[in-house]
């Protein structure tokens, strides 16, 4: 199971294979729980979200479309959406400065089944995120991790809607440029 | 919002899934027919996805794996042997922007459609319904995707085999009324997407009428 590609494991999940499911959970639990914890800051809730994420992955594995991205990003999108639903329903203050620092901080390590090229992408993204002006970085994190709209970001940061939109747009375009350079 | 410039300005928000319902609906109308803008949004959507990878990995509390294994053993086995719709191009991107993620299924099988409809239902009462577009002789010649939201919208895709031309699109309401909602250009297949003027729950079916006036295709969108 350990040397299987992400797609093979997911295919195992899609066919109801519990061994594949266990290996799948083991491979991604750190990422899924880590993202949930980054968003929610509460271990108990983060675990609930992580469990709900794997349940959804189990149910919807057959619907994965490799053209849309990799297995980890598919899984993390699920986790992000589940976490955002929780954040919205609990109305908690989402942006913990520690969370922001964590996104810039930890060294990137190759996970099992992960190719070197993916790790390099992450490094470039992390570097690009670190280079953004502080206000653009905050806007991007609020949008991508906490699902905040431009209007909500404007309210939270005390800026006009147009400014919030500009910060999001500028940040995203810079991040895309950082990735594109490597994909040529 | 019908031009490339406005849609490109909105593209980062679309890609991040944070655009307002209204903005999203009008952008989708443009995106259904503009491959270049779709590519722009798609490339940003990949960035949005990749950003999530930056969160640090943290081992969950002890026992997570066994608790998970227990929950999975109790969970219903994923549907096997069903035909899953893997959407391409406009349909896939538009569905993702609408927030339906990858939870899509072609549903001539109404039980499966119902299962997924319940799975997709969220706190905001939004859901996603799909149905085959049936032509003469009950042949599947396309697909219809409906999204209940603020506003509701409809996406139609037609297969290559459908005769070329401009089809009139009508919604048939649950009370039997027929409402014109636009025209769809078909030329070796086609797609059409638009916000609709009322709730998806009021729609019984969608019809495509060919240029010579026959009812060409129909998709059942009832929620029952």
> How long, in residues, is chain B?
224
pLDDT interval class at A60 (50, 70, 90): confident
pLDDT at position B163 over 60:
yes
Q: Is the pLDDT of residue A99 over 90?
A: no
Answer for the pair A28, B59: CB distance below 8 angstroms, yes or no.
no
Q: State chain A's mean pLDDT as an integer.
A: 83
A124, A175 Cβ separation under 8 angstroms: no
For residue B48, give the nearest of A71, A173, A144, A68 by alpha carbon. A144
CA–CA distance, A149 with B176 (Å, rounded to integer): 38
pLDDT at res. B116: 36
Q: What is the pLDDT of residue A31?
A: 95
pLDDT above 80 (res A109): no
Which of A85, A112, A172 would you mutate first to test chain B, the one with the most B CBs within 10 A? Answer: A172
pLDDT at A183: 47
Nearest to B148 by CA among B125, B169, B118: B125
**Record: contact B44-A62, CB cut-off 8 A:** no
According to DSSP, the residues that pair with B170 across neighbouring strands are B180, B207
A149 touches chain B (CB under 8 A): yes
Has residue B204 got a pLDDT over 80?
yes
In the three-class reduction of DSSP (H, G, I as helix; E, B as strand; rest coil), residue B216 is classed as strand
Average pLDDT, stretch B139-153?
77
pTM: 0.64
Q: Are A92 and B108 contacting, i.e. CB atoms less than 8 angstroms apart?
A: no
| Contacts with B102 from chain A: Cβ below 8 Å | 60, 63-65, 68, 74
């Amino acid at each position: 199971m350990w040397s299987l590609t992400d797609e093979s494991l997911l295919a195992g999940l899609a066919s109801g294979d519990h061994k594949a499911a266990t290996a799948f959970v083991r491979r991604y639990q750190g990422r899924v729980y880590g993202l949930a914890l980054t968003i929610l800051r509460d271990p108990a809730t983060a675990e609930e979200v992580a469990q709900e994420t794997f349940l959804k992955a189990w149910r919807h594995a057959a619907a994965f479309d490799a053209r849309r991205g990799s297995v980890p990003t598919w899984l993390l999108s699920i986790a992000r959406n589940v976490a955002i639903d929780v954040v919205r329903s609990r109305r908690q203050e989402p942006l913990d400065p520690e969370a922001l620092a964590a996104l810039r901080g930890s060294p990137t390590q190759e996970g099992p089944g992960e190719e070197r090229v993916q790790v390099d992408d992450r490094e470039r993204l992390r570097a690009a995120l670190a280079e953004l002006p502080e206000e653009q970085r905050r806007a991007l994190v609020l949008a991508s991790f906490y699902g905040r709209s431009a209007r909500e970001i404007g309210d939270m940061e005390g800026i006009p809607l147009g400014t919030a939109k500009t910060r999001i747009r500028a940040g995203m375009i810079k991040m895309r440029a950082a990735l594109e350079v490597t994909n040529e | 919002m019908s031009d490339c410039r406005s849609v490109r300005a909105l593209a980062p928000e679309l890609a991040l899934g944070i655009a307002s319902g209204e903005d999203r609906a009008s952008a989708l109308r443009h995106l259904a027919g503009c491959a270049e803008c779709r590519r722009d949004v798609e490339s940003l959507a990949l960035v949005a996805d990749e950003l999530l990878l930056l969160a640090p990995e943290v081992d969950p509390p002890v026992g997570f794996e066994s608790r998970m294994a227990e929950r999975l053993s109790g969970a219903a086995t994923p549907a096997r042997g069903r035909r899953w719709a893997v959407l391409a191009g406009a349909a896939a991107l538009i569905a993702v922007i609408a927030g339906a993620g990858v939870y899509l299924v072609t549903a001539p099988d109404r039980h499966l459609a119902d299962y997924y409809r319940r799975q997709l239902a969220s706190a905001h009462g939004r859901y996603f319904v799909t149905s085959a577009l049936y032509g003469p002789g009950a042949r599947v010649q396309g697909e219809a995707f409906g999204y209940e939201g603020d506003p509701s919208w409809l996406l139609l895709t037609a297969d290559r085999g459908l005769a070329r031309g401009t089809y009139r699109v009508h919604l048939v309401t649950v009370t039997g009324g027929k409402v014109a909602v636009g025209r769809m250009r078909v030329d070796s297949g086609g797609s059409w997407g638009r916000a609709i003027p009322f709730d998806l729950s009021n729609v019984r079916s969608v019809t495509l009428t060919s240029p010579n006036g026959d009812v060409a295709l129909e998709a059942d969108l009832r929620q029952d």
